[in-house]
A and B are shown apart, each in its own frame.
Chain A
Amino acid sequence: MVMVRLDAVSKRFADAAAVTDLTIDIADGEFFTMVGPSGCGKTTLLRILAGLDRPDSGDVWFGDRRVTDSDPGARDVGMVFQNYALYPHLSVSENLAFGLRVRHVRRTEVQTRVAEVATLLDLQALLHRRPKQLSGGQRQRVALGRAIMRRPHLLLMDEPLSNLDAVLRERMRIELRRFHDRLGITTIYVTHDQREATSMSDRVMVMNGGRAEQVGTPGEIVRHPRTAFVARFVGQPPMNVWRASMTIDGTGDALVSDGSGLRWTVPGPWRRAAAGPIDVWIGVRPHDLRLTGPGETADLTATLDVVEAGTGDDVLLHCRHRDQGLVVRVATGQRIPRTGGVVDLTLRSDRVHLFDAGTGIRWPAATAAPNSNGAVAGSLAADVVQQGRRHG
């Protein structure tokens, strides 16, 4: 088993940088997910790990072995390609056996392994079929089987569920995680679906434009997004984020206003950086907003545009606040105002996220020296500050 380390890896293609100065450590046996919008460099990173692409600079380490220049076949990795890339001219069993055959493993041993993997993935009935005679889900299982046949110490998966229908995708998500726990293979999983990422991973790296925005556990990423990008990318429906300005008072609380005439206090203590007001992005998740109750003062007023039926337990209110779309999740059964009317909203002030308007980084900015896991350090620093307040 291996600890994978990417050390300052960069890769450019002719017209654009695909991955820029990326450093991460992945622990032995971890289920690590890279998530980000299309074109953010996920596949490129996976290909660099597999040895199919070479980084322009930086190094790849498997344990204490530097593999930057090793051949894909010499790295002992298994890979599930996005479109599966099964060998079309070979039967399922030959597809599974391929890697062992190339390595001249004894025929009887190959057969034993094929039988084992076929049992594990429920492929016994399909062993003599060709890939084109398989359904998408079956192909996906064969691709997974082929990747683990050689018992690789690292398993790479590139959006393995993206070609499946929604029902199968839900089911395979759990299957893949169970599978990982059973085999204990270090797994690096790529997806553009943030729900997939947060539901099955030990840790998630959110990528944007070839850089890591944040690395952390799903909980950290959801509760303490390090940047405004992560805040908007993770969570469904996405976090409401809009411009505001903030001053920090003597006790360390932040006084925030967005020019709508309302001000509210976000309890700190926030680190004081400047005397004057600071431009920030303010972020509130839809379920951290609610309709203002009787006798309460409203934090926000907005115009209600559309009411969207949610999952059944809740309803999504699509509102407008100063030319800014806001989504509010409320429980069903509440009295919902007329569409077109004005609604008063209250926010949970301990769940408000503030990001620097210039850098997009969570406020207060991390002051810790950047290290190999700088992203984590940043979000943890914010975490500690906030927890300190809660306990105090």
Chain B
Amino acid sequence: MTSETSPRRHAERLAIDRSVVPPHLARRPGGPFALHRGRGRVTTLVRPVLGYLLVLPSLAVFVIFFYLPAALLFALAFYHWNVFGTTTFRGFGNFAVLFNQPLYWQSLLTTAYFVVVMMPLTTLVALALALLLREGVRQARGGLARSLIFLPHVTPIIATSIIWAWIFNPQFGLANFVFSHLGLPRLGWLEDPAWSMPAVMLYTLWHSVGLYTVLFLAGLLVIPEQVVEAARVDGARGFALFRRVIWPLLSPTTFLVLILVSVNTMQAFSQIFALTGGAVGRGGGPAYSTSTDAVLIYQTAFTYQHFSLAATMSLILFVILLAITIVQKKLSSRWVFYR
């Protein structure tokens, strides 16, 4: 309520925090291994070595299957490479080619559109479902509903995308059937550049919202019930109760969900490709309306065999993801409360 940010108060709080650390865990001069001093030279030498030995297997797997390919990919971004083996260094040449491509810029915009809609949409729907389900859990009838909501998430994207492509069929699809019964206009969906992206979003929401709902449910379960009851006795109810108590205590979950949604949608490929006819040589249409960055990367690499250009696009996507995550993390300290 008062100015929490005054430097002095901040320093005071830090001092309090430090006093909470038990003395035997407080930092000692001499680094982390100083604790083992006095037990003889052998232990001081063996301990760190043994530690590295123990993490070596998993570290090796990580290096071979993750860091190495990633490093190769990033290197590739600065070369021109074709399947026949001629490799030339191009510096930032690939970047220049990309930035002069309107299609590339459009794909970034399409991706941004996808991400910017999906973040609040998924979060709100998942949160709403979780709040409804929690009431169900209280009444011991939530188990089935919870399973039903989670179920789509464990279906294969390719298979269910094809089903949804039928649902979105303008002539015979379920979507327009429902729409016309509700008195809403029949839409072109995946055949209309204006509605293809919303169709992709609807499918993505259907497929992923169960996961986020379960995360929110878990987050709601760890909110101490008595704290909520104390707020009710204090006179908070309905939205005030949600805004002042539940939402702040749920913020770590909300933050996690936001990060996951942004990363997942930014990289989303399978459902877009399958819904828009990637299997029959199209994908990303109509009129590039669903050509997100990921779709474009795939097509550049595997349709046009332009591996180094695709590598460059991947590198840029990685940097964007990293930047967004860092920014979210930084912003989070303002609104996320960790107990």
Contact = CB atoms under 8 A, between A and B. Distances in A.
Contact of A87 (B20, B227, B235, B237): B227
Interface stretch (B42-50, B116-124, B240-248, B261-269): B240-248
Interface string B84-107: 000000000000000000000000
A363 to B, nearest CB: 43
A129 B227 CA distance: 18
Specify the main secondary structure of chain A where it touches its partner. mixed
B226 A99 contact: no
A87 B245 contact: yes
Interface stretch (A88-96, A276-284, A297-305): A88-96
Interface in A63-82: 71-74, 77-79, 81
Contacts of B235: 72-74, 99, 102-103, 150
B255 to A, nearest CB: 14
A33 to B, nearest CB: 20
Given A72-B232, A81-B229, A88 B339 contact: yes
Nearest to B234: A99
Contacts of B232: 51-52, 71-73
B230 interface: yes
Interface string B32-75: 00000000000000000000000000000000000000000000
B226 A83 contact: yes
Interface residues of A, number: 32
Contacts of A93: 1-2
Interface centre among B4, B20, B233, B240 (most CB of A within 10 A): B233
Interface of A: 50-52, 71-74, 77-79, 81, 83, 85-89, 91, 93-94, 97-99, 101-103, 128-129, 132-133, 146, 150
Contacts of B183: none
B9 interface: yes
Contacts of B236: 73, 98, 102
B337 to A, nearest CB: 4
B332 to A, nearest CB: 14
Interface string B16-41: 11001000000000000000000000
B4 A128 contact: yes
B231 interface: yes
Given A74-B235, A85-B227, A86-B227, 20 more contacts: A52-B229, A72-B232, A72-B233, A73-B232, A73-B234, A77-B233, A79-B230, A81-B229, A85-B229, A86-B230, A87-B230, A87-B245, A88-B227, A93-B1, A97-B1, A99-B235, A102-B244, A146-B230, A146-B234, A150-B234
Given A71-B237, A88-B249, A129 B230 contact: no
Nearest to B230: A85
Contacts of A102: 231, 234-236, 240, 244
Contacts, number: 82
Interface string B192-231: 0000000000000000000000000000000010110111
A23 to B, nearest CB: 24
Q: Give the size category of B's interface with A.
A: 20 to 34
B13 interface: yes
A133 B233 contact: no
Contacts of B244: 98, 101-102
B105 to A, nearest CB: 42
Contact of A73 (B237, B248, B337): B237
A91 B337 CA distance: 12
Nearest to B227: A85
Nearest to B235: A73
Contacts of B9: 128
A34 B80 CA distance: 83
A52 B229 CA distance: 7
Contacts of A86: 227, 230
Nearest to A127: B2
A73 B233 contact: yes
A87 B223 CA distance: 10
Contact of A89 (B4, B16, B337): B337
A214 B239 CA distance: 43
A146 B4 CA distance: 21
Nearest to A158: B226
B252 to A, nearest CB: 11
A94 to B, nearest CB: 6
A101 B244 CA distance: 10
Contact of A81 (B16, B226, B248): B226
B8 to A, nearest CB: 11
A91 B4 CA distance: 10
A210 B237 CA distance: 30
B38 to A, nearest CB: 34
Interface centre among A77, A78, A88, A103 (most CB of B within 10 A): A88
B337 A128 contact: no
